[in-house]
Amino acid sequence: MSNTAARYLTMLRMVPRYPRSITTTELASRLEEQGFSVTMRSIQRDLEKLSADFPLLVDENSRPYRWSFDRNATMDIIPALDLPAALTFELAKAYLSPMLPPRALSHLKPHFDEAHRTLLREKNPLGQWPDRVRVINRGLGGARPPVDADVLEAVTEALLREYQCKLTYQARSWPEPEEIVVHPFGLIFRDPNVYLIGTIEGREGVRQLVLHRATAGEVVEELIERPEDFDLDLYIHSGAMGILKSDEPVYLKLRCDKPVLNHLIESPLGFDQITTEIDDKTFEIAVTVGDTQDLRWWLTAQAVHCDILEPAWLREEIEDTLKQGLKRTRRTGNA
Amino acid sequence: MSNTAARYLTMLRMVPRYPRSITTTELASRLEEQGFSVTMRSIQRDLEKLSADFPLLVDENSRPYRWSFDRNATMDIIPALDLPAALTFELAKAYLSPMLPPRALSHLKPHFDEAHRTLLREKNPLGQWPDRVRVINRGLGGARPPVDADVLEAVTEALLREYQCKLTYQARSWPEPEEIVVHPFGLIFRDPNVYLIGTIEGREGVRQLVLHRATAGEVVEELIERPEDFDLDLYIHSGAMGILKSDEPVYLKLRCDKPVLNHLIESPLGFDQITTEIDDKTFEIAVTVGDTQDLRWWLTAQAVHCDILEPAWLREEIEDTLKQGLKRTRRTGNA
DNA sequence: CTTTCATGCGACTGGTTATGTCGCGTTACT
DNA sequence: AGTAACGCGACATAACCAGTCGCATGAAAG
């Protein structure tokens, strides 16, 4: 391929999406780095030619000119998105839409759009793919609390660059919002919330900040202080997120009703699950699972359809939960 | 941009990923369609030049030559991914990995890779982004039953092109696998399963096929017969998926304990949720939700932490479930 | 087995395109 | 006001491109 065509491609990749931009001079030096030695004049000419075929924006008020790529456009060069890939994007969109903060999703939008266009372009003249697929999300489908766009962006950038960030934050127990400087260590996405793990300048201990409680955020360009031994996985497994009730895995033995719980046969709860058919109406499974809150919820809800054979202590715990719940519903019903 | 450079790009986009391929003659006619009038000779030269800079594969045994794009080659995207977009891809990967069949995910792999490289390239010399973010998926984290790659591909392609497809399938009640011809109407992804909705040739009625029960699949190039009035949404809402217990939404009123259910305040269950603070330890919510099985599970598990004020029939239903569950656990405990 | 046809490819050539250079005008900063 | 950086038109040269022809090859057709 000729030098020129290759340079065109390289240049296109260097032009960032609006509202960011790059100057002709920057382009010149970055092209030099990549081994293209051209004069400024050529670059100026190139950009003009390219903008005939690509949605390039130019700000002629600043000098040197600043070039950007249209905010919503994206072009996959090689090779065009094939059908299965486009489909998968479409699916990904359906899955992620309720999960990720809208601002985060907006960064994927150009790619989803590209996929969508590919599907519509396909032979199917009716373009009815959207009528053909549904994703049904589990759970109650409640709304996620909205995370402020600036906050999310500031936090992610700070994390990546190991900078501090300043947040206007109000913890549940604080009487009013405060401006705090955070040393971020990690981000945890746990439906429906996004947690920032880190320390607050001037206060003790590692904290969890729920991102939707922050109303403003900006990066502070100073390096964070981070304990040598901090490890996000250890932190999670220490139980700080209230997920694991204990570090010990649970060896679970259930006697399940058919056909209600049939799906457990095909979607085992864990790698080591052993399933034993008992009779037409019953089967047993034995499996090791994490000792989580979600496990308890599940067992409580499924208690009608299965017997918890082991461990006894967990059965008793569930029994107790059921008893308490029953007491409440009865009281409410009589009131 | 010169005619030539534009043609290079267009050609690159036309070359499909291995194992698919395109002949020089096809390229010629497709370029013609796009308004490039060039001789075969030029196309031949172009491909050779391009293969110096791109991983193009050529099969010289067939005549005309067949060209493909390297299967694993990364898609270059214009403009290059910016930091937030790359981060979002990384997140999307974490969310989707447990949700989508591996083969489907593999189609996104080039994009994930591109994002990952972008992150590593970033100023952060440690490249420790992976240590900074976790996604914790809810639920029990059981394995999804694996969907055969060919099956998934055949089904999606058939759906999109409105073709029939042939599957080797064994429904739960069938003594052994059978080869069936399906007229696919729609796909439903519902964790943890993927359902194909359609009719089976020679049998009555609209069926649900659980994709992981199919072991082989291929597209049959004949148009499907599809009832005029079939609509995927109507189908789902007709209760066929066992999701909605009734079409009537439920007007739910709960008295909840603080702080256990505090999250309901910030992540409302529905758009119309009204929250009322009662005292230090209690608040009430009123909200309209779908009448689903998931709702019942959730209420059963949360009965310890809230009173179901309305509707009474639902409270009684949950009470009954709790009673039944309690009976079982007691029996099991005494056995 | 021969013929025929489509394709690949080397070589040549006219024509197009790309690019460095220069000079001038404009703008922004000092 | 002076100066430096940038944009841009013009131009000449060099590089590259693309059509054409001829021949070789291999597959399909007769």
Blockwise average pLDDT, block size 10, chain A, 335 residues = 82 85 87 84 87 85 86 72 79 82 84 81 60 73 78 86 91 88 90 87 89 91 86 80 72 86 81 87 88 85 88 88 86 73
Given this model, what pLDDT does residue A209 score?
A: 92
CB contact (8 A) between residue B323 and residue A321:
no
Given this model, what pLDDT does residue B142 score?
A: 66
The rounded distance, in Å, linking the Cα atoms of B2 and A320 is 76
- Helix (H) or strand (E) holding B275, with range, is strand B274-279
The residues with which B256 forms a beta bridge, in sequence order, are B283, B306
Identify the residue whose tokens are 């790659």: B149
| DSSP state string for A114-139 | HHHHHHHHSS-TT--GGGTEEEE--S
Q: Which residues touch strand C (CB under 7 A)?
A: A 3-4, 7, 37-39, 41-42, 45-46, 49, 61, 63; B 1-5, 23-25, 40-41, 44, 48, 60, 63-65
Q: Lowest-pLDDT range, A74-78, A232-236, B85-89, B221-225?
A: A74-78
Q: What is the pLDDT of residues B127-143, one digit of tens each?
A: 566 678 787 776 666 66
CATH class of segment(s) B3-69? mainly alpha
Residues of chain A with Cβ-Cβ distance to B154 below 8 Å are none
Query: What is the topology classification, in CATH, of domain B149-239?
Result: SH3 type barrels. (2.30.30)
Selecting from A156, A270, A332 the residue whose C-beta is nearest the C-beta of B315 gives A332
Sheet-wide strand order for A22-23: A22-23, A66-69, A56-59
Q: Domain spans of chain B?
A: 3-69, 83-131, 149-239, 250-332
At A170, is the secondary structure helix, strand, or coil?
A: coil
Given this model, what pLDDT does residue A135 score?
A: 77
The separation, in Å, between residue A63 CA and nucleotide D3 C1' comes to 16
Given this model, what pLDDT does residue B141 score?
A: 64
Q: What is the pLDDT of residues B144-155, one digit of tens each?
A: 788 888 888 888
Among A83, A88, A237, which would you mutate to test the B interface (most chain B Cβ atoms within 10 Å of its Cβ)?
A88
pLDDT top residue among B34 and A124 = B34
CATH 2.40.160 for the A149-229 domain, yes or no: no
Mean pLDDT of B98-108: 81
Given this model, what pLDDT does residue B12 score?
A: 85
Dig out the tokens for A125 from the structure: 């003249």
CB contact (8 A) between residue A267 and residue B13:
no
Residues of chain B with Cβ-Cβ distance to A329 below 8 Å are 303, 307-308, 315, 318-319, 322
Q: What are phi and psi of B80, to 5 degrees?
A: -55, 150
- Helix (H) or strand (E) holding B59, with range, is strand B56-59
A–B: how many Cβ contacts below 8 A? 391
Q: Which of B192, B232, B198, B197 is nearest to B212 (CA)?
A: B192
DSSP state of A17: B
The separation, in Å, between residue A79 CA and nucleotide C9 C1' comes to 26
CB contact (8 A) between residue A333 and residue B321:
no
When pLDDT is cut at 50, 70 and 90, the band that residue B31 belongs to is: confident
For residue A120, give the amino acid letter: L
Q: Is A5 exposed, middle or buried (0-12, 13-18, 19+ CB in 10 A)?
A: buried
What percentage of chain B reaches a pLDDT higher than 90? Answer: 10
CB contact (8 A) between residue A79 and residue B16:
yes
Nucleotides of strand D within 7 Å of the protein's CB atoms: 5-10, 16-21, 26-27
Alpha helix ranges (H) inside chain A: 3-14, 24-33, 40-53, 83-96, 102-121, 149-161, 232-235, 263-266, 293-302, 312-334
Q: Is A142 on the interface with B (CB under 8 A)?
A: yes
At A180, is the secondary structure helix, strand, or coil?
A: strand
CB contact (8 A) between residue B135 and residue A232:
no
Asked if residues B101 and B146 have their Cβ atoms less than 8 Å apart, the reply is: yes
Asked if residues B269 and B287 have their Cβ atoms less than 8 Å apart, the reply is: yes
- Helix (H) or strand (E) holding A58, with range, is strand A56-59
Instruction: Look at the pTM and tell me if it is higher than 0.85.
Output: no
Alpha carbon of A272: minimum distance to chain B alpha carbons (Å): 11
Given this model, what pLDDT does residue A164 score?
A: 92
CB contact (8 A) between residue A133 and residue B322:
no
CATH 3.30.70 for the A250-332 domain, yes or no: yes
3-state DSSP percent of chain A in helix, strand and coil, to 5: 40, 25, 35
Alpha carbon of B236: minimum distance to chain A alpha carbons (Å): 9
Distances (CA, A) of A69 to A41, A116, B73, B127, B198: 20, 20, 24, 27, 44
Asked if residues B253 and B203 have their Cβ atoms less than 8 Å apart, the reply is: no
At B303, is the secondary structure helix, strand, or coil?
A: coil
At A159, is the secondary structure helix, strand, or coil?
A: helix
Q: Which of B268, B284, B294, B137 is nearest to A143 (CA)?
A: B268
> 10 Å Cβ neighbour count for A291?
17
Asked if residues A183 and A225 have their Cβ atoms less than 8 Å apart, the reply is: yes
| DSSP state string for A73-92 | --EE-SSPPPHHHHHHHHHH
Q: Is A52 on the interface with B (CB under 8 A)?
A: yes
Nucleotides of strand C within 7 Å of the protein's CB atoms: 6-11, 17-22, 27-28
The rounded distance, in Å, linking the Cα atoms of A180 and A236 is 24
Q: Is B279 on the interface with A (CB under 8 A)?
A: no
Given this model, what pLDDT does residue A138 score?
A: 66
Given this model, what pLDDT does residue B48 score?
A: 86
Given this model, what pLDDT does residue A85 score?
A: 80
pLDDT top residue among B314 and A331 = B314
The separation, in Å, between residue B26 CA and nucleotide D20 C1' comes to 22
- Helix (H) or strand (E) holding B161, with range, is helix B149-161
Helix axes A102-121, B83-96, angle to 10 degrees: 80
